[in-house]
Amino acid sequence: MTLLEITLLIPLLGGLFLALVGHRPIAGWINIAVGVMTFGAALAMALEVLDHGPQLSPSRMFYIDAFNVYLVVLTAFVGLTTSIFSRPYMRHEVERGRVTSRRLRLYHAMYQCFLFSMLLALSTNNLGILWIGMELATLTTVLLVSLYRTPEAIEAAWKYFILCGVGIAQALFGTVLIYFAAETKLGAGRNDTLLWTVLHESAGGMDPAVITLAFVFLLVGYGTKVGLVPLHNWLPDAHSEGPTPMSAVLSGLLLNVALYALVRVKMLVDGSLHSNLAGNLMMGFGLLSFTVAGLFLHRQHDVKRMFSYSSIEHMGLITFGFGMGGPLATFGALLHMTVHSLTKSAIFITVGHACQLAGTQRITQIRGLIRTQPAIGWGLLLGTVAIAGFPPFGVFISEFLLLMATMKAWPWLTIPLLVGFGVAFAGLFRHMQKMVFGEPPPGQMPVEANMLPVVVHLLLVLWLGLAIPGFLSRWFEQATVLITGASPL
């Protein structure tokens, strides 16, 4: 059994185990333990890839190259840190009576199953399994969005289920079309036609008409899960109504995985079409999402909703970067995926504590965090500073790279980008200042909070802003070569 299969098996078995014991007080610790094991296995697997290069499992079911290895590690890492956060958070929710012990069991089991589905989607070599992993990720999270059983939560979960269901069905149709194109090229009767490695080798000979049609379906399908405007409606609802650990992993990880699927498909399409059609479509959707989400930031009255619009904005930017293609933009987009994921999950963790502190998610009622509990206040402030793209945090570097690439390839588009950055910055800080500083309402008491994940995430983002470690930049470079065919360095 390879290390990768172990990485996949641990969360699956952990999820099944937690389905039995997830309601006990110790379940929070078990959840963390499973997270530690998954992260350890993922790290060992990554070291192996670092030494020996891309790996194809003996059955050819799984494939790890420079593009997905760091995403697997990132997913396992954020899964671990969020589980550390979720233990005190969920205990608090149980004490307040918002979650019964049965639902707590459901929560713990589904948390690990969700991580499994994402790791499966990331590491599989089969486009069909990739789709199954994405659908499984929806199915495992939909009951978590409605965990609180309020009318709002149920409405959000239904919307999430239906919109993502419809979207992802389009992606399946696109997958069928790719299979159709590959089979006309490679001949029927082979059982490896849907393997990504096989498809990538033979992309050149696939029929452009079918591939174009397939890409449109796949873009709509996976784009729904990325949260691209105008298919983003489910995202703010699902993020704001579910428990906060869910918001952290949805925003930090699921969106990345969906974007990963989209970029994998784009690599095939580019190989077949020899034009920039896929890239241009992605640029258009990306820029639209970036702009619209930045404007919507200003209208929000719910703090989790606000940060979910910020996620849409950043996902739009990354999609734009991948769409632009070119080594510099792709390198920037890969880096941005990492730093956004780390920063945004740190923010959601802090926001979760802040909401428990204030007893509400309404921005107007969250006041004076820094005075009541300085750790939470500073965490939120620094997280927001980081996500808004201030130096020296990593988000600044990746946004700067993307801006440079835009200036080279599409000079005129730097204007909407710069305006968008400004609008988003203003949108975040007009609310932030009062929440962090302001006068705390009388009787506001500190809550039990574990800020370790936030500190670790923000330190990592800071590190990535100051110096990217050699192995990571090599992976980014190799991934860039894989995606664009040229090196950025």
Partner 1 sequence: MEFASLSLYNQAIILFAALALFMSFIMLAQARMMPLIFTFAWQGLLLTVVSVLVAITSGHPELHISAAITFCLKVVVIPWLLYRLSIKLNMQYDAEAMTHPTLLLLGGVALVIFSYHVSQSIVHLSGLATRNTIAVSMAIELLGMLLMIARKSAVAQVIGFMSMESGIFFAAVVSTYGMPLIVELGLAFDILVASILFGVFFFHLKDSFGSLNVGQFNRLSEANQAMPASDAAEPAPGERS
| Chain residues in the site for partner 1 (CB under 8 A) | 97-98, 126, 128-129, 131-132, 135-136, 139, 142-143, 146, 148-152, 154-159, 161-162, 165-166, 169, 172-173, 176-177, 179-181, 183-184, 188, 191, 193-194, 207, 209-210, 213, 236-237, 240-241, 296, 299-302, 305, 355-356, 358-362, 364-365
Nearer to partner 1, 80 or 312 (CB): 312
Cis peptide before 11 (omega within 30 of 0): no
Closest contact distance (angstroms) between CB of 429 and partner 1 is 19
Tokens of 240: 């704001």
Q: How far is the CB of 329 from partner 1 (least distance, A)?
A: 31
Q: Residue 271 Cβ, how far from partner 1 at the closest point, in Å?
A: 18
**Distance in Å, CB of 161 to partner 1, minimum:** 7
Of the two residues 6 and 198, which places its CB atom closer to partner 1 in the complex? 198
> What is the nearest approach in angstroms of partner 1 to the Cβ of residue 129?
6
> Counting beta carbons within 10 angstroms of the beta carbon of residue 213, is it exposed (0 to 12), middle (13 to 18) or buried (19 or more)?
middle
Nearer to partner 1, 275 or 364 (CB): 364
Residue 22's alpha-carbon distances to 108, 384, 426, in angstroms, are: 6, 33, 42
Considering the complex, what minimum distance in angstroms separates the CB of residue 96 from partner 1? 9
Q: How far is the CB of 215 from partner 1 (least distance, A)?
A: 13
- Could you give phi then psi for residue 478, rounded to 5 degrees? -60, -40
Q: Which is nearer to partner 1, 149 or 408 (CB)?
A: 149
- Residue 449 in contact with residue 375, Cβ under 8 Å? yes
Minimum CB distance to partner 1 smaller for 90 or for 464: 90
In the complex, what is the shortest distance from the CB of residue 388 to partner 1, in angstroms, rounded to a whole number? 22
Nearer to partner 1, 146 or 338 (CB): 146
* CB nearer to partner 1: pick between 154 and 455: 154
Helices 327-358 and 452-466 pack at an angle, to 10 degrees, of 160
The smaller minimum CB distance to partner 1, of residues 180 and 410, is found at 180
Cα 174 to chain centroid distance, Å, stands at 22
Cα 108 to Cα 23: distance, rounded to the nearest angstrom: 8
**Cβ nearer to partner 1, comparing 57 with 365:** 365
The Cα diameter of the chain in Å comes to: 73
Q: State in angstroms the smallest separation of the CB of 439 from partner 1.
A: 17
Would you say 150 or 280 has its CB closer to partner 1? 150
Q: How far is the CB of 316 from partner 1 (least distance, A)?
A: 17
- Closest to partner 1 by CB, 97 vs 443, is 97
- HSE at residue 113, side-chain half, CA atoms within 13 A, is 22
Q: How far is the CB of 22 from partner 1 (least distance, A)?
A: 17
User: What sign has the CA pseudo-torsion 295, 421, 289, 151?
Assistant: negative
Question: CB-wise, 170 or 256, nearer to partner 1?
Answer: 170
Least Cβ distance, residue 242 to partner 1 (angstroms): 12
CB < 8 Å & 24+ apart, contacts of 151-158? 152/241, 153/241, 153/242, 155/237, 155/241, 156/234, 156/237, 156/238, 156/240, 156/241, 156/242, 157/238, 157/241, 157/242
